[in-house]
Amino acid sequence: MIITIDGPAAAGKGTLAAKLSAKYKYAYFDTGMVYRAVGLEMYLRNLDTADEKAALKIAETLTFEKMMELSAHPDFRSQIGGRNASIVSAYPDVRAALLKMQQDFSENPVFADGTPAQGAIYDGRDTGTVVCPEADIKLFITASSEVRAERRYKEFVAKGMDVAYEEVLADVKARDERDANRSAAPMKPAEDAVVFDTSTLNIEEVFAKACEIIDAEIDKEKR
Ligand code: DC
């Protein structure tokens, strides 16, 4: 079973994916990590994210293990990390270089400890359109930019980071603009995706609806 969850930053994709992964025991791949890893590696090596060739070189040599190692760095999930990821993810060649690593996971989904899983849940921007166009279930989770900025702001404050709400909102809007308008794999719902707006639905409601869809698919596969 392959499930994709796409949508803009802070829409609730990660929370939903974690709840579904716990309930159905499917492995989880947060695909934003591949772009965060490339962006962070550039930052650590003092490379300019405007240097597309340098970004490509790093993408071509990125391994799953290296990505996991970089994910422990404090800037992996910081504003800088998110901004750099968004910039490098707009380069078509970087996206192409990182595609196989993401697709391979669906052939052999495993949990963090290496145990094999019966299915995979992907979260990202293009997982239902480009990474796994043949996924069994595709969800697209969205929310207004103000609601999402408020959530991100609270996350940063909880981690003790010193940021202003206005700055987070401006960043969310800039990233949406880049993610939705880039030429390679722009963020958009797949034609066969079910769209949820978490400005009006809470996460429990979205979770319940997602479970209904997944249970129906499991029943269908059993028949
Ligand atoms: O989901 P995230 O915030 O960790 O993603 C970081 C950046 O990576 C985001 O700005 C867009 C990009 N991204 C992408 O282009 N395609 C994906 N499948 C996942 C993330």
Tens digits of per-residue pLDDT, 46-100? Answer: 999 999 999 999 999 999 999 999 999 999 999 899 999 999 999 999 999 999 9
Residue 87 CA, ligand 1 centroid: distance in Å: 10
Q: Which two tokens stand for residue 165?
A: 């709400």
Q: Reduce the DSSP state of residue 29 to 3 states and report it.
A: strand
Contact by Cβ (8 Å): 154, 11? no
**Whole-number pLDDT of residue 182:** 84
In a domain, residue 213? The reply is: no
d(CA 162, CA 32): 23
**Number of domains, the chain:** 1
Residues linked to residue 96 through DSSP beta bridges, in sequence order: none
CATH number reported for the structural domain that contains residue 70 in this entry: 3.40.50.300
Distance of CA 43 from the midpoint of ligand 1 (Å)? 17
Is 112 part of a structural domain of the chain?
A: yes
Whether pTM > 0.85 for this model: the answer is yes
Paired tokens of 167? 């700055």
Q: Name residues of the chain where pLDDT drops below 70.
A: none
| In-domain check, residue 207 | no
Residue 218 counted as domain residue: no
pLDDT at 88: 96
Ligand 1 contacts (CB < 6 A) are 9, 31-32, 35-36, 82, 85-86, 89, 124-127, 175, 179
Q: Measuring from atom 1 of ligand 1, which residue has the nearest CA?
A: 32
The set of residues, in sequence order, having a beta carbon less than 8 Å from that of 73 and lying 6+ positions away, is: 40, 44
Residue nearest to atom 15 of ligand 1 (CA): 89
- What is the number of the ligand 1 atom nearest to the C-alpha of 13? 1
Cβ-based burial of 91 (10 A; exposed 0-12, middle 13-18, buried ≥19): buried
Q: Which domain holds residue 183?
A: 2-200
Residue 58 lies in a domain: yes
**Ligand 1: which residue has its CA nearest to atom 4?**
32
- pLDDT computed for residue 20 by the predictor: 98
**Which residue owns the Cα nearest ligand 1 atom 10?**
86
Q: How far is CA 80 from the centre of its chain?
A: 16
In a domain, 8, yes or no: yes
- Nearest Cα neighbor of 3 from 204, 198, 207, 187 is 207
